[in-house]
Amino acid sequence: MESIIATQDLWKVYRTGKVDTPALRGVTLEIQEGEFVAIVGPSGCGKSTLLHLLGGLASPTSGKIFVEGNDLSKMTDSERTRFRRHKIGFVFQRFNLLPTLTAKENVELAQHIHGNGFNPHRFQMVVEMLGIANRLNHRPYALSGGEQQRVAIARAVICEPKILLADEPTGNLDSENSQTVLNMMRTLNRTLRQTLLMITHNPEAAAVADRIIHMRDGQLIED
Amino acid sequence: MVGKMIVANVLHRPIRTIVSILAVAIEVGMVLLVVGMTSGMLNESAKRVEGVGADIMVQPPGASFFLGITAAPMPIKIADRLKEIPHVQAVAPVLLQFNTTSGLNLVYGIDMKTFDEVSGGFVYFDGGPLKNPWDILVDDWYARSNHVKVGETLNLLSHDFHVVGIVEHGKGARLFISIETAQEMTGARDRASIFFVKCTDPGYTQNVLNAIRKLMPRYQVLSVKEYMSMMTSNSLPELTDFVNTMIAIAVGIGFLVIFLSMYTTITERTREIGILKSLGASKFYIIKAILQEAGLLAIGGIILGFIGTFLVHRAISAYFPTLPVDLTMAWRARAAVLAIIGSLVGAFYPALRAAKLDPIEALGYE
């Protein structure tokens, strides 16, 4: 099976004044298409940084990132923007829905930015799968945390991204809602063969994944 | 979709929206009212001079064609020489004065007989012509705005005048006194500031004009048609500067408020911009969305500005009928374009700043 994501000796160093702080220290990994991977590790171990680099939100200090054979580390800012638009879906811990828009409009916005226009068939399929069909006209403040996260997942997958990156998707949810969200993600992975990379602190959440990668001090320590 | 997002943003922050729209409305209103009052006064002033009925105006060298004032009026005997020119039907000498009581008003010191010959005579709404030295005629607009009636005393130029008639507006000035009284008050005995010349036929105007210019080469001699064409703010550099300065201030207000409003909004919405970026929104997409929002605020401001200007215009007409305001479609369009350009320029830097935000930092913004 061909790797959809591959990194080679990936480094990311943040500079504060004259102090260099390495967040990633030579990460090399491969993720196959259709895999559900959980990355676990203590705070500050570089999980989020790795996710941001894989999602094209930042560029590495050194090393290479290949997504479907394209080298992200050589991309310009606008190329990475285009890459995010067409290949990546993000789910965040804090849901990150636009508060002024309804759930439906939040999902539609992703389709609009993607540029392919509104696809009613895909929209209907996703909202029904995520169980938010009857909550679409509500604004985020009127939705529970679980519902908000399901809307965020719908927004992330509506444009059929190659990879779904989830940054602590259950971090702000109670156990019941966490389980619901994890089940949804599992379903997405199983039914749509959605490649999924999830960062989590929660061992129960990580257990849902096919593969668990442990990180510490900017390095992969167990796979 | 972007439209929905923009409208939602505008509605989500009502105070910011109201302040921005008000600022643009003030900008539009200021431009329209400053230009409208300036051109209104010029046009009205020109029409009143045209309403005198003369074909030619003769003024001393260096006189202002706008107000017709000069510190050195001409000898009144010039009228006799002008009357000798072929095709001259009548000559009316006028001594101009300014009254600053209840606004700036031009006072014509006239000789009733010659002024009637040139103008065809006043239309009296009440009372009759000047008979005594301290009599005064006022036009209907002045009478209405100052609540003046025939028989009342009007203190003007530190003298009490007896209002003897209310005449139809449009004959040079709003206030008319006898030329002898005006001469006595100013110490300009036997002098006039301007001669209105009427030809036997308007077709002779150019001939008479040439003859006067030959006779009095240093004097300022204009046909009324020439005068009318010169009565625009473009012919008055100081007025053009004033109008341009006021427009610049108005546009500056709109620009600064939109700039501040959008800048604050961008700061407030940093995380939302991070979300857009994470979804793959390009810099152009973000800039366009912010400029469209500024454009929407500008359109709201323009509409409110038009409504506000209309109401102010109505109020001015009702309470200050002597203050004409010309609101032309051309200037409405210009004011709208200026407001939109000012708003877009004001929003451009905040938009650029938003587009350049680092997505990770933006997403982490509290």
Number of H-type helices and E-type strands within chain B: 13, 12
Residue B195 lies in a domain: yes
Same domain, B90 and B184: yes
Same domain, B213 and B80: yes
Percent of chain A with pLDDT over 70: 99
pLDDT value at residue B67: 56
Tokens of B96: 């101009």
Last residue of a domain, one of B218, B249, B273: B218
Residues B199 and B96 sit within 8 Å (Cβ to Cβ): no
Same domain, B71 and B138: yes
Let me know the angle formed at the C-alpha of A202 by A201 and A208, rounded to the nearest 5 degrees: 120
Question: What is the distance between the alpha carbons of residues B160 and B207, in angstroms, rounded to a whole number?
Answer: 43
Same domain, B286 and B356: yes
CB-CB neighbors (< 8 A) of A105 in chain B = 1, 4-5, 8
Residue B228 lies in a domain: no
Mutate to test the interface with B, among A98, A151, A155 (most CBs of B within 10 A): A98
pLDDT value at residue B230: 77
Same domain, B134 and B252: no
Q: Between B8, B280, B363, which is nearest A84 by CB?
A: B280
pLDDT score of B221 more than 80: yes
Same domain, B6 and B78: no
Same domain, B175 and B88: yes
Say yes or no for a CB contact (<8 Å) between A90 and B278. Answer: yes
Q: Between A78, A101, A110, which is nearest B282 by CB?
A: A78
Q: Between B275, B283, B358, which is nearest A98 by CB?
A: B275
pLDDT value at residue B61: 83
CB-CB neighbors (< 8 A) of B9 in chain A = 100
Question: What is the distance between the alpha carbons of residues A87 and B162, in angstroms, rounded to a whole number?
Answer: 90
Q: Does A99 touch chain B (CB under 8 A)?
A: yes
Note down the domain range covering B97. 61-218
Mutate to test the interface with A, among B10, B268, B269, B278 (most CBs of A within 10 A): B278
Task: Please state which of the ranges A101-115, B186-200, B272-286, B314-328 shows the lowest mean pLDDT.
Answer: B314-328
Mutate to test the interface with A, among B279, B287, B358 (most CBs of A within 10 A): B279
pLDDT score of B290 more than 70: yes
Same domain, B154 and B292: no
Residues B63 and B192 sit within 8 Å (Cβ to Cβ): no
> Averaged over B187-200, what is the pLDDT?
90
User: Secondary structure of chain A in the HEC alphabet?
Assistant: CCEEEEEEEEEEEEEECCEEEEEEEEEEEEEECCCEEEEECCCCCCHHHHHHHHCCCCCCCEEEEEECCEEHHHCCHHHHHHHHHHHEEEECCCCCCCCCCCHHHHHHHHHHHHCCCCCHHHHHHHHHHCCCHHHCCCCHHHCCHHHHHHHHHHHHHCCCCCEEEEECCCCCCCHHHHHHHHHHHHHHHHHHCCEEEEEECCHHHHHCCCEEEEEECCEEEEC
Number of Cβ within a 10 Å radius of residue A134: 8
Chain B, nearest residue to A89 by Cα: B279
Same domain, B165 and B211: yes
Say yes or no for a CB contact (<8 Å) between B280 and A88. Answer: yes
Residue B71 lies in a domain: yes
Question: What is the distance between the alpha carbons of residues B218 and B60, in angstroms, rounded to a whole number?
Answer: 8
- Those of residues 136-175 in A touching chain B at CB distance below 8 A are 155
Chain B, nearest residue to A88 by Cα: B279
- Below-70 pLDDT ranges, chain A: 1-2
Residues A24 and A47 sit within 8 Å (Cβ to Cβ): no
Say yes or no for a CB contact (<8 Å) between B5 and A81. Answer: no
Query: Which residues of B lie inside 8 Å of A (Cβ-Cβ)?
Result: 1-2, 4-5, 8-9, 11-12, 271-272, 274-283, 285, 358-360, 363
DSSP state at residue B109: E
pLDDT score of B231 more than 80: no
Last residue of a domain, one of B166, B188, B218: B218
pLDDT digits (tens, 9 = 90+) for A161-186: 989 999 999 888 888 888 888 988 89
Mutate to test the interface with B, among A109, A111, A114 (most CBs of B within 10 A): A109
pLDDT score of B99 more than 80: no
Residue B226 lies in a domain: no
Residue B229 lies in a domain: no
Say yes or no for a CB contact (<8 Å) between B281 and A113. Answer: yes
CA distance A59 to chain B (A): 11
B171 strand-pairing partners? B173
Residue B228: band (very low, low, confident or very high) from pLDDT cuts 50, 70, 90: confident
Same domain, B255 and B213: no
- Could you tell me the CA-to-CA distances from A8 to A21, A29, A71, A167, B260 in Å, in that order? 20, 7, 11, 22, 46
Which residues, at least 6 apart from B226, have a Cβ–Cβ distance to it below 8 Å?
none
Question: What is the distance between the alpha carbons of residues B247 and B300, in angstroms, rounded to a whole number?
Answer: 19
Residue B115 lies in a domain: yes
Q: Does A68 touch chain B (CB under 8 A)?
A: no
With b for 16 or more beta-carbon neighbours within 10 A and e for fewer, the A177-189 pattern comes to bbbbbbebbeebb
Size of interface A-B (CB pairs under 8 A): 73
Q: Does A50 touch chain B (CB under 8 A)?
A: no
Residue B123: band (very low, low, confident or very high) from pLDDT cuts 50, 70, 90: very high
Question: B246, B298, B231, B239: which is closest to B33 by C-alpha?
Answer: B246
Residue B31 lies in a domain: yes
Say yes or no for a CB contact (<8 Å) between A108 and B8. Answer: no
Mean pLDDT of chain B: 88
The dihedrals phi and psi of B219, each to the nearest 5 degrees, come to -80, 160
pLDDT digits (tens, 9 = 90+) for A92-120: 988 899 999 999 999 999 988 988 777 78
Tally of domains in chain B: 2
pLDDT value at residue B186: 83
Please give the domain boundaries of chain A with CATH numbers for all domains.
35-57+77-222 (3.40.50.300)
CA distance B331 to chain A (A): 37
Same domain, B95 and B27: no
pLDDT score of B233 more than 80: no
Q: Does A92 touch chain B (CB under 8 A)?
A: yes
pLDDT digits (tens, 9 = 90+) for B53-82: 899 999 888 776 665 555 568 898 999 999
Last residue of a domain, one of B161, B187, B218: B218
Say yes or no for a CB contact (<8 Å) between B280 and A85. Answer: yes
Q: Between A55, A92, A101, which is nearest B8 by CB?
A: A101
Residues A192 and A34 sit within 8 Å (Cβ to Cβ): no
- Please give the ipTM for the structure prediction: 0.91
B57 strand-pairing partners? B196, B222
pLDDT value at residue A198: 94
Q: Does A86 touch chain B (CB under 8 A)?
A: yes
pLDDT value at residue B60: 87
Same domain, B32 and B154: no
pLDDT score of B93 more than 90: yes
Say yes or no for a CB contact (<8 Å) between A108 and B2. Answer: no
Residue B50 lies in a domain: no
pLDDT value at residue A204: 86
pLDDT digits (tens, 9 = 90+) for B150-172: 999 998 878 899 999 999 998 88
